[in-house]
Structure 1
Amino acid sequence: MSWRDRNGTRHLLSVGAIPAVSSRIARTVVLSFVVLAAGCFGGPSPESAPPSEAATTVASPTGTVEFHDGPKDPPDQPATLNESSAREFVYENQYRSVYNGLWQGEHTEMTLDCRIDNVTERSWGYDVVITCTGSSTTDPPAGSTATDGPISDYFTQSYRYSVGADALARETVENRDAVS
C-alpha cells in the first residue's frame, strides 16, 4: 500500500509504519476468523447422512408411483403398517415394477436383484430406501418362430419410498453399490 504527500512524492509503508498490535488481540482476531470460517471450509462429518438422505419428507407422502405394465401386478398397501410390512411392500413393489420394465415376452430370461438399504420410521409412516440391479434378454427355444430380443439393462438404481397408511411416494436418491 502506498500514499502520496503534498509534493506528490510517493511513499511506501514500511514495517515501522504499521502500528504494533498486541499478540493477545492478534490471537483473538485469528481465532475468530478460524471459528467463523470453519463451516465454509470443512466437509461433512463421517457421521452425517449423505446429501440425498438429509432431505426427508415431513408431511405425509402424496402422489402416485409409476408402475410398469407387464405380467406382475402392484402389491396391495399393507393393512397394518409397521417396519416389516413397509419393508416387504416396498421390496415387492419395486421388484415387480422393474420386472415388468425388463419383461420382453414369454421367452424372457431375466436377472434381477433388489436390496433394502434402510428403513426409517416417521410420524406418518416409513421411509424405505431400496436398490435394484438387473438385465434381461429374449432367448426363444430352437425351432420357435420368435426372434431373439434385445438385451435390456436396469443399471443400479436406488429410490426412497415414503409409505403412509393410505399414501405412497417415491423419489430417486444417490445410487448405492450394485446388488450382488
Structure 2
Amino acid sequence: MSWRDRNGTRHLLSVGAIPAVSSRIARTAVLSFVVLAAGCFGGPSPESAAPSEAATTVASPTGTVEFHDGPKDPPDQPATLNESSAREFVYENQYRSVYNGLWQGEHTEMTLDCRIDNVTERSWGYDVVITCTGSSTTDPPAGSTATDGPISDYFTQSYRYSVSADALARETVENRDAVS
C-alpha cells in the first residue's frame, strides 16, 4: 500500500504500519469463508444424474407393514388385486391400525376418519395414498371402578401404501389436508 504527499512523492508503508493479524485468526477466517461458501460454488458431480435423467421405474414392494395390537385384526390381502380392492384394503388396513393405536380399553370414545387421496396403477400392483385424522379418550360409566384416561390424538398423517399380489409396503408422504 502506498500514498503520495503534496509534492507528488510516493511513499511506501513500512511493515510496522500494517496492522498485524495473527495467523490463527487469518486461518479461522479463511476456513469459515470456505465452509460457508462451499455449497454456493459447487455443481452436480459427474456421477449424479440430473432429475430429468433419473429412472422412473419403481420396484415391487417387499415386506410387511407394522400393525398396532388391539381389538381389530388386519384385513386379509385381496384375492384379486384391482383398483377397487387395493383402495378398500388400504383403507381397512390403515383405519384398523390407527384404531388399535388410539384404543385405550372398553370405555374408549373415539373419533377417526380416513380418506383415500390417490390410487396409481403400477406394473406390479397399486400405490394408494391415504390420510387419517383421529382422537380418543375414555369415559367410564358412573359408579365404575375404571378411571378417566388420557386424550390421545392422531394428528393428520398421510401414507403411501404399495400393494402387490403378495406384498405390502408403507412410507410416510407429505401430509395432505385434514380429513373432515
* TM-score normalised per structure 2: 0.70
Assess, with a 3 A threshold, how the Cα gap between structure 1 residues 133 and 16 changes in structure 2: closer, same or farther: same
After superposition, the C-alpha distances for 1:5-31 in whole angstroms (9 at most, x for unaligned) are 999999999999999999999999999
Structure 1 counterpart of 2:2: 2
Count of residues in Structure 1 that have an aligned counterpart in Structure 2 = 180
Note the 1:1-180 alignment, pairs <5 A: 58-180=58-180
Pick the structure with greater CA Rg: 2
After superposition, the C-alpha distances for 1:119-177 in whole angstroms (9 at most, x for unaligned) are 00000000000000000000000000000000000000000000000010000000000
Aligned to 2:52, the other structure's residue is in SS state: helix
Contact persistence 1:53–1:173 (CA under 8 A) = no
Contact persistence 1:127–1:161 (CA under 8 A) = yes
After superposition, the C-alpha distances for 1:57-101 in whole angstroms (9 at most, x for unaligned) are 711101210000000000000000000000000000000000000
Assess, with a 3 A threshold, how the Cα gap between structure 1 residues 31 and 97 changes in structure 2: closer, same or farther: closer
Quote the offset at 1:2 in angstroms: 16
Which stretches of structure 1, 4 residues or longer, exceed 6 Å deviation after superposition?
1-57
Assess, with a 3 A threshold, how the Cα gap between structure 1 residues 7 and 127 changes in structure 2: closer, same or farther: farther
After superposition, the C-alpha distances for 1:91-114 in whole angstroms (9 at most, x for unaligned) are 000000000000000000000000
Aligned to 2:58, the other structure's residue is in SS state: coil
Q: Percent identity at matched positions? A: 98
Contact persistence 1:57–1:162 (CA under 8 A) = no
CA RMSD of aligned residues (A): 10.7
Quote the offset at 1:51 in angstroms: 11
Q: Distance in 2 between matches of 1:97 and 1:108?
A: 15
- Can you give the 5+ residue segments of structure 1 that lack an aligned partner in the other structure? none
Aligned to 1:174, the other structure's residue is in SS state: coil
Assess, with a 3 A threshold, how the Cα gap between structure 1 residues 158 and 19 changes in structure 2: closer, same or farther: same
- Can you give the 5+ residue segments of structure 2 that lack an aligned partner in the other structure? none
Q: Distance in 1 between matches of 2:146 and 2:72?
A: 22
Q: Distance in 2 between matches of 1:22 and 1:66?
A: 59
Q: Distance in 2 between matches of 1:132 and 1:34?
A: 46
* TM-score normalised per structure 1: 0.70
Q: Distance in 2 between matches of 1:112 and 1:52?
A: 40
Assess, with a 3 A threshold, how the Cα gap between structure 1 residues 14 and 105 changes in structure 2: closer, same or farther: same
Q: Distance in 1 between matches of 2:152 and 2:53?
A: 29
- Larger mean CA deviation between 84-93 and 11-20 belongs to 11-20
Contact persistence 1:78–1:89 (CA under 8 A) = yes
Aligned to 1:24, the other structure's residue is in SS state: helix
- Larger mean CA deviation between 117-126 and 20-29 belongs to 20-29
Assess, with a 3 A threshold, how the Cα gap between structure 1 residues 39 and 109 changes in structure 2: closer, same or farther: same
Q: Distance in 2 between matches of 1:50 and 1:114?
A: 37
